[in-house]
Amino acid sequence: MSAAEIDGFANRIRGSRDGMISAWVGIPDAMLVNHLAQEAFDAVVLDMQHGMWDMPSAANGIAQVRLAGKAALARIPVGDFASASRLLDAGASGIIAPMINSADDARALVRTTKYPPVGERSWGPSLALNHTGLSGDDYLKNANALTVAIAMIETRAALDAIDGILGVTGIDGIFIGPSDLSIALSNGDQVAPNAAEIDSAMQHAVARCRAHGKFACAFAADGERAGELLKFGFDLVIAGAETTQLRSGARRAINAARRIASGS
């Protein structure tokens, strides 16, 4: 992906409000990522929190996404801010950090994802330079704008602190994890990501993002829910994980074969 295309992604998610759809991959296989990146997704997220990616496989996955001309994002494990810097060095266009529950948590994320004067990201973007084609000086001047830092809102504490989180310079947007949020809001009673209470919380989050001039992202289990979230005003949504899509496609093929073979 060229520098202009990367800049286009960052600018688009920050301001276009046209609704982007991303793939979500936890299986650490660069070939699988390559296949998904050929589809009409706007980005691909590598899930390193609950997926099985390690740093070498993630770097290969990022390269496959970039080869397809798409933006690669990575969700890091909880509190693993050191990996955030390394993934940006490998060419990721953005970092999604789970369990950001306060402005202090948000500032910790910014410190490792933004160069001074905004943050304290350390220098070493060898693969990012290769992917963007930028010189070191140009990358340093533009990296804070070309990459995005996204704080996950998925607890009651995070909802309560959402304005403080969004007010942190260097936080570009938020990502709602509706399953964890439903667990938190029900005090551990249920996983209900599509419940009315979650809809209300998500719409509130979008409104706060608009007030702060920042973008909102969210996970959806399937395309239908993703469409609903786009109607809520989310700027980027996940239309289901790759495991769900893989099994759903297999199920459809098996059912079609059985139906035709039986003449029903």
Which residues are known catalytic residues? 50
Residues 6+ apart with CB under 8 A from 235: 13, 16, 17, 19, 20, 173, 215, 216, 217
Pair of tokens at residue 174:
């938020």
Span between the terminal Cα atoms of the chain, in Å: 48
Pair of tokens at residue 60:
């290969």
Residues 6+ apart with CB under 8 A from 88: 95, 113, 121, 125, 128, 143, 147
Question: Among 251, 166, 146, which Cα is nearest to 213's?
Answer: 166
